[in-house]
Structure 1
Amino acid sequence: MASYVEIKKGLGPDGRIAVVRFDRGDAINALNDDATRELTRAAESFDDDTKTSVVILAGGKSFSAGADLKGGGRRSPASTDVAALRRQFRIGPRLARAWYEMDQVTIAAIEGFCIGAGIALAVALDFRIIARDAHIRVPEVGLGINMSWQTIPRMLQLIGPARTKQAVILADQRISAAEAYEWRLVEQVTEPGGSFKAAMKLGEKVAAQPAIPVAMTKQTVNRLAGALDDLASHMDIDQLTLTCLTEDYREGVAAFREKRKPRFKGR
């Protein structure tokens, strides 16, 4: 199995910064099942790491185009049952949860584009830094499915109800770096190619602080801000399973693959 994830530790002040780079070697950097599992294991590998206090997550040419619809990123509902789909759809939420629950402060360095599952992962991190020529998009509704991975409550915390609805419902809308900053979906905009350098600079500031109260503060903020997230998202997997059994989902995926506008019928 090909490896898509590289981990470098011992960087920055006193070696307290680590970099996780997800790069499939193309301009798309889509999340197939293997890559999703590997990124989950990467996050979990820091569970007992007391030397690292900051983890930067970066992509290749782009952060990620989201789920790999062309290369096995999602099973066809026609060839599997509901129980199998529900098991399949747990893979993504596990990834987002693993990064959200890390003790270390996490920073996403976003270049190119950050789409669908890519932004679901990014909002599970503590900070997001984006290049000026990059953009964000949430295409799931345009494919006939719901946005899952506990993304909606996390986006709600960051940008509020109206912007969350705008980002998710208007699935074709590209959110520019400037708009993402204005909406408070990201914390900083850099020159093209500069997101990683800026992430390292922020990481150095965090790493210079005492690690124990930093980790405690992060956990406290996350628990308070996300106290109702599990309750709000407990139906995510079932909603995704249900929408994947609709005609609109089949039409949405077919239109994506055929590069045409979908014709939804509400069934």
Structure 2
Amino acid sequence: MTYEDIRVEHRGGVSTIVLSRPPVNAVTPRLLMEVLSALDDLEERGETRCVVLAGSGTKAFCAGADLKADNTLAAGDSFRDLGRAVVDRLEAFPKPVISAMRGWCVGGGFAIGLACDVRLASTTTRIRTGDAYLGVIPSWGMSLTRLTHFVGRNRALDLLILGEDLDAEAALQMGLVTRVIPEEDYDAELARIAERVAGGAPITFKAIKETIRAQYMYTPAAAQALETHWSDIGGASADMREGIAAFREKRQPVFRGC
């Protein structure tokens, strides 16, 4: 498929969705629809074992909604619904998703970056959720819903009410990002981590994502039921047998997702 606001690239088991609206990769309804379409394609693509979500260039991962674009402002509720759909899709996507949160990560960029499973910051990363200073209600299902579960009530209020820039180290201390990588090493380290994740067991990743999400979307009891469900599936899988055999034989396992 041909896209206008994103690029999709493949390297081995890693597929990368690049938000491509320089200079700051601001979000429009079309970009969100293209991300959803790309995720649908990558879910069906058997060769894809890990997805990276990145921004073009190094200035910004994503600086939020493009408030200068008429089609963004005119979209209204549908824009909100698209934003929520992308956040939900990233979180529930059955394969691991890594966000390359390099440079500015603001507003809607904050929402979609945090929805990913592993969040890699650069030393250049700056995070802001300052909607209150634009008169905007954050409504993509992150800042007012998930964020409290991610960082706790007090830290969520600090971020939302102060609305100040947060550097990469401060974001790491809050648990917003997984790790901070020196800018000069960023591309190589991102590739290394993504390649490692692509080599993991697909069934186990599905179990991890679905069960962890159920902890706050539903109930602990629902999460425990999912744990039992996935344990039964995993225990009968060829991948579990392959993983144990590879451990005993001191080699890398070759998982097939079955």
TM range (shorter): 0.7 to 0.9
Structure 1, unmatched stretches of 5+, are 77-83, 229-267
Q: Which residue of 2 aligns with 1:51?
A: 47
Which protein has greater RCO, CA pairs closer than 8 Å, 6+ apart?
1
Q: 1:156 aligns with which of 143, 148, 158?
A: 148
Q: 1:128 aligns with which of 109, 119, 122?
A: 119
CA distance in 1, matches of 2:199, 2:81: 36
Structure 2, unmatched stretches of 5+, are 220-258
Q: Which letter maps to 2:84?
A: P
Q: Which residue of 2 aligns with 1:166?
A: 158
Q: 1:72 aligns with which of 70, 74, 77?
A: 70
CA distance in 1, matches of 2:168, 2:64: 18
Q: CA deviation at 1:48?
A: 2.0
Q: CA deviation at 1:150?
A: 0.8
Q: CA deviation at 1:181?
A: 0.4
Q: CA deviation at 1:124?
A: 1.1
1:204 has 2:195 as partner: yes
Q: Which residue of 2 aligns with 1:8?
A: 9
Q: Which residue of 2 aligns with 1:80?
A: none
Q: CA deviation at 1:21?
A: 1.0
Q: Is the helix fraction higher in 1 or 2?
A: 2
Matches within 5 A, 1:166-185: 166-171=158-163, 173-185=164-176
CA RMSD of aligned residues (A): 2.0
**Matched position secondary structure for 1:46:** helix
1:63 has 2:54 as partner: no
Q: Which letter maps to 1:55?
A: V
CA distance in 2, matches of 1:75, 1:95: 18
Matches within 5 A, 1:1-267: 3-9=4-10, 11=11, 15-24=12-21, 26-61=22-57, 62-72=60-70, 74-75=72-73, 85-152=76-143, 153-171=145-163, 173-192=164-183, 194-227=185-218
Residues 161, 197 of structure 1: CA spacing in aligned structure 2 closer, same or farther, 3 A cutoff?
A: farther
Q: Deviations over 1:41-80 (max 9, x none)?
A: 112222323332210111012101100011236326xxxx
CA distance in 1, matches of 2:185, 2:93: 25
**Matched position secondary structure for 1:68:** coil
The count of residues paired between Structure 1 and Structure 2 equals: 215
Identity %, equivalent residues: 24
Runs of 4+ in structure 1 off by over 4 angstroms are: none
Residues 167, 86 of structure 1: CA spacing in aligned structure 2 closer, same or farther, 3 A cutoff?
A: same
CA distance in 1, matches of 2:105, 2:71: 16
CA distance in 1, matches of 2:36, 2:213: 19
Residues 211, 39 of structure 1: CA spacing in aligned structure 2 closer, same or farther, 3 A cutoff?
A: same
CA distance in 2, matches of 1:38, 1:56: 15
